[in-house]
Chains A and B, each alone.
Chain A
Amino acid sequence: QKEVEQNSGPLSVPEGAIASLNCTYSDRVSQSFFWYRQYSGKSPELIMSIYSNGDKEDGRFTAQLNKASQYVSLLIRDSQPSDSATYLCAVLSIRETSYDKVIFGPGTSLSVIP
C-alpha cells in the first residue's frame, strides 16, 4: 500500500465550480498535512497546512482533515483557469526507526475549463 494516495486525474471542472481533491494516507499517527500546487515546469508552492480535524479555510481554499478516516481533502471554490495545475498532498510520516519524513502523494491534475 502506498503511503499517500491521490487520484491522478485529470480532474476537469468548469470555471466557477467547486473542485474537490482527495488524499488518503496510511500512517495513523501522522499529525501534519500539507497541500501544494505545482504548475507545469515549476516547483511546488504551499497552499495550506492543516494539523487538526475539521475544516481550515483560506480564501477560496478549504482543507478538510479526518484523522479517523485517514483522509485529507482540498476544496477550491469558484475555480479559475489559473487554478489548473497539479495538486500535491503531503503528509508527515512519523517513523520509529529513522527520521520523520514528509511523504508526497503522486498529485492530482486539475483542469479548469473556461
Chain B
Amino acid sequence: GAVVSQHPSRVICKSGTSVKIECRSLDFQATTMFWYRQFPKKSLMLMATSNEGSKATYEQGVEKDKFLINHASLTLSTLTVTSAHPEDSSFYICSASWRAYTDTQYFGPGTRLTVL
C-alpha cells in the first residue's frame, strides 16, 4: 500500500514556459501533500506543504507566485512552475501522508525538470 505517483517523470521545456506536475496518492487519501526539490548530490529541500482544500504553506524563500500549488482533492496535488528558467531545473518530488504532518510520508518517484 501507500503508493504515490507523479507525472510526468521527465520534462524538458523552453525558458519562459509553465510546467505542471501532478502528484497522486493511488491507494489512500492524503490529507497532506508535500513538495520538495533536490539538486544533484544535495538533500531534500521542502518547498511547501498543502492540505486538501486549503492554501499551501510555503517555506521561507520559496516564491508562491512562481511555484503554484493546488490540492484539489484528497488524492491529487499539482505543482506548476510558472515562467520556468534554467535555474528551476531540478528534481521535484512530492510526498503524501494520511494525517497532517505527524504521519509517515510516502514519496512519489519524482519529476526531473530541465529548462533550456
A42 to chain B, nearest CB (A): 7
**What A residues does B105 contact at CB under 8 A?**
34, 46, 90, 102
Contact A34 B104 (CB under 8 A): yes
Of the residues B42, B101, B110, contact of A101 by C-beta under 8 Å:
B101
Of the residues A43, A92, A107, contact of B101 by C-beta under 8 Å:
A92
User: In the docked arrangement, what's the CA distance between A67 and B45, Å?
Assistant: 25
Contact A107 B104 (CB under 8 A): no
Contact B43 A46 (CB under 8 A): no
Of the residues B44, B46, B49, B110, contact of A88 by C-beta under 8 Å:
B44
B9 to chain A, nearest CB (A): 10
From residue 58 to 114 of chain A, which have CB atoms closer than 8 A to chain B? 88, 90, 92, 99-102, 104-107
Number of interface residues of B (CB under 8 A): 18
From residue 80 to 116 of chain B, which have CB atoms closer than 8 A to chain A? 91, 93, 100-102, 104-110
Of the residues B91, B102, B108, B109, contact of A100 by C-beta under 8 Å:
B102
A14 within 8 A of B: no
User: In the docked arrangement, what's the CA distance between A46 and B95, Å?
Assistant: 11
From residue 43 to 89 of chain B, which have CB atoms closer than 8 A to chain A? 43-44, 46, 49, 57
**What B residues does A105 contact at CB under 8 A?**
43
8 closest A-B pairs by CB: A43-B110, A100-B101, A106-B43, A43-B107, A43-B93, A104-B44, A44-B107, A43-B109
Contact B101 A102 (CB under 8 A): yes
Contact B102 A44 (CB under 8 A): no
Contact A43 B102 (CB under 8 A): no
Of the residues A31, A42, A49, A88, contact of B104 by C-beta under 8 Å:
A49
User: In the docked arrangement, what's the CA distance between A31 and B100, Å?
Assistant: 15
A11 to chain B, nearest CB (A): 15
Contact B57 A99 (CB under 8 A): yes
Contact A42 B102 (CB under 8 A): no
User: In the docked arrangement, what's the CA distance between A102 and B43, Å?
Assistant: 13
**What A residues does B110 contact at CB under 8 A?**
42-43
Of the residues B43, B46, B108, contact of A43 by C-beta under 8 Å:
B108
User: In the docked arrangement, what's the CA distance between A53 and B102, Å?
Assistant: 18
Contact B101 A44 (CB under 8 A): no
